[in-house]
A and B are shown apart, each in its own frame.
Chain A
């Protein structure tokens, strides 16, 4: 049985203008035709009426950590992680993100490969969740395990160890390999930030850093790209961004300290930037209430303007940007990331939607081939918004239906009670 999804206004995620009165013909969850409604007159199909608003592709949050536990003391308890609690958090976050219209997500670094376990359980029991692209544990350099997430990283030394890790990790079920490319070797991060804050903006970074080498990164990329998988690089300092891009990674996560050479390298390699603005912005906005030293927030406040300025420059130069929340603080929402692209960076709502849909999909390799846009051959994953996001990007919060594979899976803002989490048609 085919399904005909009727819309009043369709934004397909490609960046083309909105299409009034178009419909999507869906079979087995895949869009098999997309055309003005009149094209489907008389067709024998089940009708799904989504004409009460604007239809956009299901969103992609390509930087999540669903199994992260949001609570004070978690980082200190990292040596005794509660795997059950982490998995349980994954179930909750998966449902929460789906209700925010995220139909596909990429989990970029999860201890013990719990995201791969999470995905398996979610698929087996048909639990509400975005489609999940999983990175499992991260890879970093020997000596690089210095942060709270130490227990989710595997250390390598040299090209052959990196290649071995990549092969083994792909075999374990990873869709993407997450590299922790640079590590700050400071025992006291607050002290480092205090020193950095005391220096002029253009002074060299006062920190001691370790990083993967270009050759180590290239070996991982070689193995991943051989089979259509991708490589994501966590990296903030300028030198690290360049190393990662020269190694051939597909996405730069955070990329906080871009310079002009970084932008050139992005354009040369075609890599995508996932700036994760919302985690920094959330920290700036709520830092006084978060469980972290004030200097963290102060540092973020100072670096914010420069980061935004260079991000805008990168966008104008043609660097592809995709949305990722880095959802490690309770209270963060996917919407924030999309809105910040418009309100802080200053790009158009349409470009922000493309970042939240098509660009994220393109950064996922074969895992993203069928998502991100509403075109023939793609999954019928879409979101019905009550109001037009092109006139006000904040309208992406007014979701009335979330659709995966042509079926409504969530009604977040319904007044009939169907918007409650746990309800599924």
Chain B
């Protein structure tokens, strides 16, 4: 058994009342899992001390909307082959880890890239965040050609929905990702485009949720139109991304059902900044960058008890988790609430059995070290000095070299 006691300048342990820094305490870790905090005098004799006393420690960040293999480079280049998709997924996984993301929930990928990547990283063959694969995202039948995400699977009807989820889980999906509505046509006016989005039915969504639940998986839905959000809430998906059509009436339902909200603000921000240079059509830039959840509605959701979660959904390498955190902060969430979104809330939305995002006993020792207290100043997330994955500290030059590269432009 490997026993480590971790010392830090402060442990940013987010409690309902604020932050407990566990001053003068060590974090005991056994075989990659957290045991708990204790005083030096109480530590076991055979424990090895890891001294990170120059850094503050937070639980590893969780990106609930990681897009492997579909990452548009700052110069606009997009993957156009399997090999290129793999190359970019490899780069992204390394950069996400360097950005402090220890768990990245895939939004799906073609050719099982996210699954193969997750296995390669888990086996130590490749470096990167832990990937939770989704394999093929599900879209309403007939919609694949309108969808820019490679590898989608079309579904029509409850029977087909059941089959799709069963097969995905059998093939290794750790979560089910659906695009709850897809545009039939694009218009310059985002509202007009939204009117022409074809959604999954409640019956289809309910079947997906039921099948996933039996397998211990959650369903994450990207839902744009109000009608699609209605259907997702009725079916009881675990989390909703983008949610441009979110309305105040949805919030009590989400809070009551425990449905989390991933505003995916980094996506709009990066496309707004870089979409034209990257060759996105003006209508798409207009739709994505101008459509976002209004800050007051986001704050309203937070106040209503809806879990806000951090999901980049960023098709640009620059649209990383730091940017998502910044955007959430700009929208009005406190630094502590942003950290909560990027750790605890994300962990709860990832799996029914919470294994990450907390300093709790028996959670996985995924940790991030930063120079300053991020609960006081969120910008400290831009200076990550080390990352711990399952109790193994990563401070090598590979991670360091990717930190600067992963900062937003």
Interface residues of A (CB under 8 A from B): 82-85, 87-89, 114, 116-118, 120-121, 124-125
Which of chain A's residues has its CB closest to B88's CB?
A121
CA distance A84 to B120 in the complex (A): 7
B112 cross-chain contacts in A, Cβ below 8 A: 83
CA distance A82 to B114 in the complex (A): 11
* A84 and B84 form a contact (CB under 8 A): no
Q: Interface digits, B72-93 against A, CB 8 Å rule (1 contact, 0 not)?
A: 0000000001111011011000
23 contacts between A and B (CB under 8 A): A83-B82, A83-B86, A83-B111, A83-B112, A83-B113, A83-B116, A84-B89, A84-B90, A84-B117, A85-B123, A85-B125, A87-B87, A88-B120, A89-B125, A116-B83, A117-B81, A117-B83, A118-B83, A120-B81, A120-B83, A120-B84, A121-B81, A125-B87
CA distance A147 to B116 in the complex (A): 23
* A85 and B126 form a contact (CB under 8 A): yes
Option from B82, B83, B87, B119 in Cβ contact (under 8 Å) with A82:
B119
CA distance A118 to B125 in the complex (A): 17
* B83 and A114 form a contact (CB under 8 A): yes
Option from B86, B119, B123 in Cβ contact (under 8 Å) with A87:
B86
* B81 and A85 form a contact (CB under 8 A): no
A120 cross-chain contacts in B, Cβ below 8 A: 81, 83-84
B119 cross-chain contacts in A, Cβ below 8 A: 82, 84-85
B125 cross-chain contacts in A, Cβ below 8 A: 85, 88-89
A85 cross-chain contacts in B, Cβ below 8 A: 116, 119-120, 123, 125-126
CA distance A225 to B83 in the complex (A): 28
A116 cross-chain contacts in B, Cβ below 8 A: 83
* B111 and A121 form a contact (CB under 8 A): no
Expressed in whole angstroms, the minimum distance between the Cβ of A77 and any Cβ of chain B is 10
Size band of the B side of the interface?
10 to 19
Which of chain B's residues has its CB closest to A69's CB?
B125
CA distance A120 to B88 in the complex (A): 13
Most chain A beta carbons < 10 A, residue from B112, B120, B126: B120
CA distance A125 to B119 in the complex (A): 25
* A82 and B81 form a contact (CB under 8 A): no
B111 cross-chain contacts in A, Cβ below 8 A: 83
B89 cross-chain contacts in A, Cβ below 8 A: 84
A84 cross-chain contacts in B, Cβ below 8 A: 86, 89-90, 113, 116-117, 119-120, 126
CA distance A114 to B111 in the complex (A): 13
Which of chain B's residues has its CB closest to A82's CB?
B116
* A121 and B87 form a contact (CB under 8 A): yes
A114 cross-chain contacts in B, Cβ below 8 A: 83
CA distance A87 to B91 in the complex (A): 13
Interface residues of B (CB under 8 A from A): 81-84, 86-87, 89-90, 111-113, 116-117, 119-120, 123, 125-126
Expressed in whole angstroms, the minimum distance between the Cβ of A275 and any Cβ of chain B is 31
CA distance A277 to B117 in the complex (A): 34
Expressed in whole angstroms, the minimum distance between the Cβ of B87 and any Cβ of chain A is 5
Which of chain B's residues has its CB closest to A115's CB?
B83
Expressed in whole angstroms, the minimum distance between the Cβ of B75 and any Cβ of chain A is 12
Expressed in whole angstroms, the minimum distance between the Cβ of A84 and any Cβ of chain B is 4
Expressed in whole angstroms, the minimum distance between the Cβ of B70 and any Cβ of chain A is 14
Expressed in whole angstroms, the minimum distance between the Cβ of B130 and any Cβ of chain A is 15
A121 cross-chain contacts in B, Cβ below 8 A: 81, 83-84, 86-87
Expressed in whole angstroms, the minimum distance between the Cβ of B262 and any Cβ of chain A is 26
B87 cross-chain contacts in A, Cβ below 8 A: 87, 121, 125
Expressed in whole angstroms, the minimum distance between the Cβ of B225 and any Cβ of chain A is 35
B86 cross-chain contacts in A, Cβ below 8 A: 83-84, 87-88, 117, 121
CA distance A88 to B119 in the complex (A): 13
* A88 and B90 form a contact (CB under 8 A): yes
A88 cross-chain contacts in B, Cβ below 8 A: 86, 90, 120, 125-126
CA distance A85 to B112 in the complex (A): 12
CA distance A253 to B305 in the complex (A): 68
Most chain B beta carbons < 10 A, residue from A83, A84, A87, A89: A84
A124 cross-chain contacts in B, Cβ below 8 A: 84
B116 cross-chain contacts in A, Cβ below 8 A: 82-85
B126 cross-chain contacts in A, Cβ below 8 A: 84-85, 88
CA distance A89 to B116 in the complex (A): 13
Sorted nearest first, the 7 A-B pairs with minimum C-beta distance are A117-B83, A84-B116, A85-B120, A121-B83, A82-B116, A121-B87, A87-B86
CA distance A83 to B117 in the complex (A): 9
Expressed in whole angstroms, the minimum distance between the Cβ of A6 and any Cβ of chain B is 35
* A87 and B83 form a contact (CB under 8 A): yes
B113 cross-chain contacts in A, Cβ below 8 A: 83-84
Expressed in whole angstroms, the minimum distance between the Cβ of A126 and any Cβ of chain B is 12
Which of chain A's residues has its CB closest to B123's CB?
A85
Most chain A beta carbons < 10 A, residue from B81, B82, B126: B82
CA distance A124 to B111 in the complex (A): 21
CA distance A114 to B82 in the complex (A): 9
* A82 and B120 form a contact (CB under 8 A): yes
Which of chain A's residues has its CB closest to B112's CB?
A83
CA distance A124 to B91 in the complex (A): 14
Which of chain B's residues has its CB closest to A87's CB?
B86
CA distance A83 to B113 in the complex (A): 8
Expressed in whole angstroms, the minimum distance between the Cβ of B249 and any Cβ of chain A is 43
A87 cross-chain contacts in B, Cβ below 8 A: 83, 86-87
B90 cross-chain contacts in A, Cβ below 8 A: 84, 88
CA distance A118 to B83 in the complex (A): 6
Expressed in whole angstroms, the minimum distance between the Cβ of A249 and any Cβ of chain B is 28
B81 cross-chain contacts in A, Cβ below 8 A: 117, 120-121
Expressed in whole angstroms, the minimum distance between the Cβ of B80 and any Cβ of chain A is 9
Most chain B beta carbons < 10 A, residue from A85, A116, A118: A85
Which of chain A's residues has its CB closest to B126's CB?
A88
CA distance A83 to B82 in the complex (A): 10
CA distance A121 to B83 in the complex (A): 6
Expressed in whole angstroms, the minimum distance between the Cβ of A121 and any Cβ of chain B is 4
Which of chain B's residues has its CB closest to A127's CB?
B87
CA distance A124 to B77 in the complex (A): 11
Expressed in whole angstroms, the minimum distance between the Cβ of A118 and any Cβ of chain B is 6
Expressed in whole angstroms, the minimum distance between the Cβ of A116 and any Cβ of chain B is 8
CA distance A289 to B351 in the complex (A): 42
